[in-house]
A = this chain, B = another copy of it.
Amino acid sequence: MDIPSGDTARKRISESTIHRLSRYFRTLSLLEKENFETVSSKELAKREKLTPAQVRKDLSFFGSFGTRGLGYPVAELKAKVSRILGIDRIWRVALVGVGNIGSAMVSYKEFIKQGFHIVKLFDNDQRKIGSNHKGIIVSDIKNLRTELQDDRIEMVIVAVPATVAQYIVDDIVKAEVKAILNFAPINLKVPSGVHVRNENMVMELEYLSFAMVNHHSPKGGGKA
């Protein structure tokens, strides 16, 4: 779904296109640092190992940002893409489960850079509650729902054991949060309208395992 320049006639945008937009954004940031004024679909494609047609088609879903004969203005396109992705703003993010992976995320600088600000932490471990992680005091999980609402949290990262993840998520949903990034290796149930993305490292290792055993190179050369 999106707006091809005006405001009506939304198209359905594929998951792959959205992921490629993220990649374009990252590459455009680099190009900007390298002082490129413009970039062609050919150059962008080369850097991302895609076809120029793919790049142009992806962008064309959202409008026409280029100049024929010249290419795309780097800074401007970057701004447009960030607008499309919704990262031309700050997102207030909470994290539940300040364990191994949770602590790593709190220290992750790329999040802040891209406007994802982790502003609340939750845990149920008495030793962790009240402690300070990167300037944030860990809250008691008991207050999850009310604090998510009071602090107008828009996204939650779930990094608790799989056994409790669904309960936590039920509470997150009650707090009217509509976006969840989940690290627990389970299929979460959420009502429609709530977006869930799963980060599953075991699945990626299994993919590598399959590829090795089968001498496999899938179309597109795999996830980039």
Binding site for B on A (CB under 8 A): 1-2, 12-15, 18-19, 21-23, 25-26, 47-49, 84-87, 91, 93, 100-101, 103-105, 107-108, 110-111, 114, 116, 154-155, 178-181, 185, 187, 192, 195-220, 222-224
Contact = CB atoms under 8 A, between A and B. Distances in A.
Given A15-B222, A103-B104, A205 B1 contact: no
Nearest to A192: B217
A202 B47 contact: no
A19 B203 contact: yes
B201 A108 contact: yes
Contacts of A197: 204-205, 207-208, 222-223
Nearest to A155: B208
A196 to B, nearest CB: 7
Contact of A208 (B15, B101, B179): B179
Contact of A22 (B91, B114, B199, B207): B207
A208 B144 CA distance: 21
B104 A206 contact: no
Contact of A215 (B1, B187, B224): B1
Nearest to A91: B209
A105 B204 CA distance: 13
A48 B200 CA distance: 15
Given A85-B209, A212-B195, A219 B104 contact: no
- The 6 A-B pairs of least Cβ separation, nearest first, read A86-B213, A100-B104, A86-B209, A179-B208, A197-B204, A195-B211
A218 B14 contact: yes
A212 B1 contact: no
A12 B110 contact: no
